[in-house]
Amino acid sequence: MRRWGLFLLVLAPFLVGHVSLSRGMWENRAQVRSETEAGYVLPSKFSRILALGYKGVLSDFLFLKTATFYGERHMLGKSLDEADWAFLKAGLDVVTDLDPYFFDPYLLAESYLAWEGRIDEANLILEKGLKHRDWDWRLPYFIGFNHFYFQQDYEMGAEYIMEAASRPGSHPFLKTLAARLAYYGGKAETGIVFLRGILAEMDDPHFRAPLEKRLLALERAAELEKLVDRFQDEQGHPPERIGDLVLAGYIDALPTEPYGGEWVILATGRIYSTSKFVSGKGG
């Protein structure tokens, strides 16, 4: 009880100051939310001292702060700059240092860092969870997917997926998923398989919304990829440009790209977009 009281005594000024500032700031909510800077994340070695043995409590508090920061940016439709991403990554890093068994920050790291092209940063955080949550099949599953889909490293991806399949409670489909992902390679179908799985783990509508938007984009890309394959089979050569699918009557009109970009065909036959499926990066 004495240690708990000391912890509250140390933390209280920070909480009181935070509430006091917030009360005034949020009166002009729309403007302030759009102008709030990322700020500074206290490194783990200092955060551990501040926690005074209550690392789980401080971890929860810091995760809420980090997740809220991202959620506010998303709801306002504001793209994150490098300082914002550094703040998000640093926050998740400290949270998982304080409580490496806490699953939510790993889910957030995979859902946003990896899908915004920060694969190495996401994997570093996930590897931390891999060591501590050695019963959880989802951590090697996430890392394996990153190797498969983003880094085109099928051998390493298969290794992690197989580890996921060997852990207790893993889904039976994981035993054949490595082969399925290798077949699809870097195509949109790979991302669809994964996103449907990760959405099943996420309840918060604010965090689900951007993933559902990305899933819709990948589903539309996958349909176009199937049409490209059909065009190749029937015409004996791939379409030179995406509009050829319309001109040849394979589709009446191209589906809307949810991020505002333009559909393009890569040399591999994969359908991509000038938006890179990221908000604010349309064609």
Evaluate whether residue 197 is within a structural domain.
Answer: no
Closest CA to 234 of 251, 250, 254: 250
Residue with tokens 């965090």: 207
pTM attached to this predicted model: 0.58
Evaluate whether residue 87 is within a structural domain.
Answer: yes
Evaluate whether residue 182 is within a structural domain.
Answer: no
Final residue belonging to a domain, choices 84, 117, 150: 117
Evaluate whether residue 229 is within a structural domain.
Answer: yes
Per the document, the length of the chain is: 283
Evaluate whether residue 4 is within a structural domain.
Answer: no
Centroid of chain to Cα 236: 38
Evaluate whether residue 140 is within a structural domain.
Answer: no
- Give CA–CA dist 74/28, Å, rounded: 18
Evaluate whether residue 194 is within a structural domain.
Answer: no
- Give CA–CA dist 9/71, Å, rounded: 30
- Give CA–CA dist 244/225, Å, rounded: 13
Final residue belonging to a domain, choices 117, 140, 159: 117
Final residue belonging to a domain, choices 92, 117, 142: 117
Q: How many domains does the chain have?
A: 2
Domain holding 266, by residue range, is 218-273
Evaluate whether residue 170 is within a structural domain.
Answer: no
**Per-residue tens of pLDDT for the chain, all 283 residues:** 444 444 444 444 444 444 443 444 334 434 333 444 445 555 554 455 455 555 555 566 677 777 776 666 666 666 777 888 888 888 888 888 888 898 988 988 888 888 888 899 999 999 999 999 999 999 998 999 898 888 888 778 888 988 888 888 887 777 666 666 655 555 677 778 777 877 877 777 767 887 788 889 889 998 999 999 999 999 998 898 999 999 999 999 999 999 899 999 887 778 888 887 776 554 4
